[in-house]
Structure 1
Amino acid sequence: MARFKIKGLRWWMIGLVMLGAIINYLTRSTLAVAAPTLLKDLNITAQEYSYITATFQGAIMLQPLAGYVLDVIGLKFGFAMFATAWSMICMAHGFATNWQALAGLRGLLGLAEGCANPAGMKAVSEWFPAKERGLAGGIFNIGASFGSMLAPPLVVWAILHYNWQSAFVITGALGLVWVAGWLLLYDAPAKHRRLSEEEAKHIVEGQELHLQGDGTRPSIISIMKMRNFWGIALPRFLADPAWGTLAFWVPLYLTTVRHFDLTQIAMFAWLPFLAADLGCLFGPTVALALQKRGVKLINARKGAFTVGACMMMGVAFVGFVDSPYAAIALLCLAGFAHQTLSVTVITMASDLFRRNEVATVAGMCGTFGNFGLLLFSLLIGGLMATVGYTPFFVSLAVLDLVAAALLWILVREPKSS
C-alpha cells in the first residue's frame, strides 16, 4: 500500500527546524531575563556577568565544529544530539550557586547551541530551490527572535510563581520534548517517505548545479581561501553584536537605566524580538522584490542587507531620548533592522557554497559573529559603569554600515558550471 504524501512538505520541515531554533534561543535567553533577580540572589556584579556571557560567546565560537559534525553525520541525528545536550545543560543552570559555576555551564551551553545556524542553513540548502531559500531562511530565523521574545514572559512567570532556578528547568525540559518530535518527524529529502515525486523534482530542479555537493568532507582550509567566505564572515563579525546587546544586555539596561521592575520587563522586553520576527520576513521580501526587477540573486541579498543597515541607524539614538517608551520603540526598530540584514547574510552561505559545505561555512561565519559579540559584551561589562550604554548603541549603527560596505566590496556572484 502506497504511503500518503504531504503537500508542501519542505515548509513543514523548515517549520520543525524553526521550532528547534525557538527552543535554542529560549534557553540561551533565559539567563538574560533572570539576570536582575539572579545577580542579586548570588551577589554577582556586572563585570562578573560580562565574564559569564563572554564564556558563552567564546564557546559558541567553536560552532564550525558543530557544522562539521552536521555535514559529516547528517542533520537528523546531529541536531538531535546537540539539542539533547543543550537542554540538559540549561536545566543544570538551576543548580549553580556562584558566577564561576554559571560561567562553566554557559561555556558548555555555547558548545552545544552553536549548532543552530549551521543546522538551519543545512536544512534550507537541502530542502529548497534557490528562489525560495531567502524566505525559508527567514522562517528559520524567526525562531531566534521568537525564542528570545518568548523568554521574558515565560521566565518572569516562573520567577514570580516559583524561583529563578525553575525557569532554567522549564526551558530545558521543553528542548527534550522537541528532540522527541524531531527524531519522529524529520528526515533528509532523499529519505523522507512523505515527500512526493513532484515536490522532490521541484527542489532538485530549482537548485544550482554548481552548488551540488560531491559527497566529500568539507575542507576548512579551502573555505578560508575563498573571497566569498570573508565577504560574509566579516560582516557577521561587525553586525552580530547588535543581537547580543538585545539578547543579553537590554533587560539589565531597562532595569538599571530606565528603572523598570520585573513586571515591566515582562511587558516590554519581548517587543524588540517581535519586531525582529517581522524583520526575518522583510529581508527576504526586499531581496525577492529586487530580483523581480532584474537584480541578480547575490546583489539582491546585498541590497536587502544595506536596507537593514540603514535602518539600524535608529539604535544610535536610544541613549538620547528621555522617554523609556521611545527607547523601547528604537530598540524595536533595531530588532527589526538587525534581523532584516542578519537573515540575509546568513542565507548567503547557502547561495555561495556547495551543499556539503553549507553547515561548516555557516558555523565558521558564526564564529566570527560571536567573536564580535564576545568583544562587544566584554567592553560593555568593563565600561558600562563609567561611560554608560549610549556609546555602545551609537557604535552598533556605525558597525552595520561598515559591514554593508564590506559585503558589497568582497562578495562576488559564484561562477556557474
Structure 2
Amino acid sequence: MVALLFMATAIKYIDRNVLSFTMIDEGFRREMLNVPESSPLTADLIGRFKVLMGYVDASFKFAYAIGFVLMGYFIDRVLVKKGYSIAIAIWSFAGIATAFVSSFRGLSITRFVFGFGESANFPAAIKTIAEWFPKKERSFATGIYNAGANVGIMATALIVPALIIHLGWRWSFLCTGVLGVMLLVCWRLIYRPLASHPQVSAEEQQYIESDHAPASNNTKVPWKNLLKTRGAWAIALGKFFTDPIWWFYLTWLPDFFNSNEALETKLDLTGLALPFIVIYFTSDLGSVFFGWLSGKFISMGWTVNKSRKVTLLLCALLVVPLIFAAKVANVHLAMVLVAIAAAAHQGWSANLFTLSSDIFPKRVVGSVVGLAGMVGGIGGTIFAAFAGIILVNWGYFPIFMMASASYLIALLIIHLLVPRIG
C-alpha cells in the first residue's frame, strides 16, 4: 500500500510541476502573451507574465482548497478506491487538456479543474495509512509515501526540460497526463481495503489494529461538527501558514534560479536538473527521517504529544536559514539553503498529517485532512495571488522572509489549540 501511494504521489507531482518548468520557456511565454516571434520579450512583458502566472497559480490553489474539503468528505462517504479513482481521472484529463490552451484564460480553466481533482491525493492517502498501519508506524509510512512528491519533482526536472526543448511545451503536458491515466489503471487493479485483502492474515490485521484509540476517542464526530473542534483547527491553521511556502517552491523555484538578481549564475532549462535533484532528494530524506524520528521518540517511551511537537519544532527551526537564500550570490549555496528548508517542510508535513489520525478516529480522518487542506489551500491562494506582484516589485527576499517565520508561528498556534495530544 505504501508503494502504491508513493507511486500515486510521485505521478501527481509530475503532473503538477510541468507548468513550473514550462513557464520559463520562451515559446510558452510568447503563446500566453500572444507575442509573435518577431517582437522582443521586454522586461515589462516578462513582468506582466509573472503577475498573470501568479493569478493562474491562485486559480489552481483556489480549486485545490475547494476540492480538498469536498474530496475529503466524498472519500469518507464512497470510500477510498472509488473516490480516488474519480479524482485521478479528473486531474489526468485536465493535464492533457492543458496541452491545447493558447491563453491565460484557458490555462486558468484547465489548472482550476486540475487542482480540484488533485486535491483528493492526501485525504485518500492519509485515510489509507490510518486503515493499514498502527499509530506508532503511521508517521514513518506517511513520510515514505510523502517522499513520492520529491521523486516526482526530480523526475519532472529530468524529463520535462528535454520534452520542451526537443518536442515543444505542449508535449510535456500530453506525456505527463498519460502517466496519470496509467496510475488510474494501477490503482483500480491493486488497491484493496484491509478487511478484504486476500494476502492479509488474521495476525497481521490484529497487529495493525493493536493500538486503536480508546473508546472515548472513537466517538463518531459528524463532519459539520469538525469546525467546532480545536484539533481540526490546529491542523488546518498549521497548513494555512506552511502549505503556501511549499507550493511557492513548486511553482516558482525554476524562475528563482533563472532570474533572481542576487545570483551570479542564472540557470536555464538545461541547467535546472542538478539543483532540483539535490533539493528534492534532500527533501525526500527529510520526509522519511522526520517521519521515522517521531515514531522513534514514541518507541523510546515519549508521549505522542511530545514526540510530534518536538519533531515539528526541529523542522520549523531548520526553515529559518532560508531567509538568506534570496541574498546569496553563489547558486550552490542558495541551492543548499532551499534544500534544507524543503527537507524540513516535508518532515513537518508528514508529522502534521499524522496528527489527524492521532487526534481523530479513522472514520473522519479523510474529512479532517480535507478541511485542513481547504484552509491550507486558502492560504496558498492568497499567497499565490500576490506572489507575482511581490516578485516583480521587490524580488524574492520578502517571500523567503515570510517563509522562515511561518513554521514557528504555526507550531505555536498548534500548541495553544491542542496543548496535549493523545
**Smaller-chain TM-score range?**
over 0.9
5+ unaligned residues in a row in structure 2: which ranges? 34-47
Relative distance call for 1:308 and 1:54 in structure 2 (3 A) is same
Equivalent residue letter for 1:17: L
Other-structure match for 2:179: 174
Matched, 1:240 2:247: no
Matched, 1:251 2:244: no
Shift of 1:318: 0.3
Other-structure match for 1:281: 288
* Larger mean Cα displacement after TM superposition, 54-63 or 139-148: 139-148
Shift of 1:41: 3.7
Matched, 1:33 2:18: no
Equivalent residue letter for 2:13: Y
Matched, 1:269 2:257: no
- Count residues with an aligned counterpart: 401
Other-structure match for 2:54: 50
**Residues 325-358 of structure 1, C-alpha deviations (whole Å, 9 max, x = no match):** 1111111111111111111111111111111100
1:254-333 matches, within 5 Å, as 254-257=257-260, 258=263, 259-333=266-340
Other-structure match for 2:141: 136
SS in 2 for 1:205: coil
**Residues 94-130 of structure 1, C-alpha deviations (whole Å, 9 max, x = no match):** 0010111000100001110000110110001100111
Other-structure match for 2:10: 22
Shift of 1:209: 4.0
CA-atom RMSD in angstroms = 1.6
* Distance in structure 1 (CA, Å) of the matches to 2:218 and 2:78: 15
Instruction: Report if the CA contact (8 A) 1:211-1:353 is conserved.
Output: no
Other-structure match for 1:344: 351
Shift of 1:293: 3.7
Instruction: Report if the CA contact (8 A) 1:211-1:355 is conserved.
Output: no
TM-score (norm 1): 0.92
1:1-20 matches, within 5 Å, as 13-20=1-8
Q: Which of these residues, 101, 104, 119, is aligned with residue 106 of structure 2? A: 101
Shift of 1:252: 1.0
**Residues 63-96 of structure 1, C-alpha deviations (whole Å, 9 max, x = no match):** 1100111111110111111101111110111001
1:116-195 matches, within 5 Å, as 116-195=121-200
* Larger mean Cα displacement after TM superposition, 259-268 or 348-357: 259-268
Shift of 1:412: 4.2
Other-structure match for 1:3: none
* Distance in structure 1 (CA, Å) of the matches to 2:194 and 2:216: 17
Other-structure match for 2:385: 378
Relative distance call for 1:270 and 1:209 in structure 2 (3 A) is same
**Residues 290-325 of structure 1, C-alpha deviations (whole Å, 9 max, x = no match):** 224432113211111110000001111101211111
* Larger mean Cα displacement after TM superposition, 332-341 or 250-259: 250-259
Other-structure match for 1:334: 341
Shift of 1:272: 1.7
* Distance in structure 1 (CA, Å) of the matches to 2:62 and 2:298: 38
Instruction: Report if the CA contact (8 A) 1:211-1:354 is conserved.
Output: no
1:76-115 matches, within 5 Å, as 76-115=81-120
Equivalent residue letter for 2:175: I
Shift of 1:212: 8.0
Other-structure match for 2:409: 402
Instruction: Report if the CA contact (8 A) 2:316-2:407 is conserved.
Output: yes
Instruction: Report if the CA contact (8 A) 2:137-2:295 is conserved.
Output: no
What percent of counterpart residues are identical?
28
SS in 2 for 1:269: helix
SS in 2 for 1:243: helix
Shift of 1:376: 1.6
5+ unaligned residues in a row in structure 1: which ranges? 1-12
* Larger mean Cα displacement after TM superposition, 64-73 or 379-388: 379-388
Instruction: Report if the CA contact (8 A) 1:211-1:352 is conserved.
Output: no
Other-structure match for 1:5: none
* Larger mean Cα displacement after TM superposition, 122-131 or 32-41: 32-41
* Larger mean Cα displacement after TM superposition, 17-26 or 405-414: 405-414
* Larger mean Cα displacement after TM superposition, 271-280 or 69-78: 271-280
Q: Which of these residues, 229, 233, 239, is aligned with residue 226 of structure 1? A: 229
* Distance in structure 1 (CA, Å) of the matches to 2:122 and 2:64: 11
Instruction: Report if the CA contact (8 A) 1:238-1:403 is conserved.
Output: yes
Instruction: Report if the CA contact (8 A) 1:316-1:394 is conserved.
Output: yes
TM-score (norm 2): 0.91
* Distance in structure 1 (CA, Å) of the matches to 2:419 and 2:80: 28
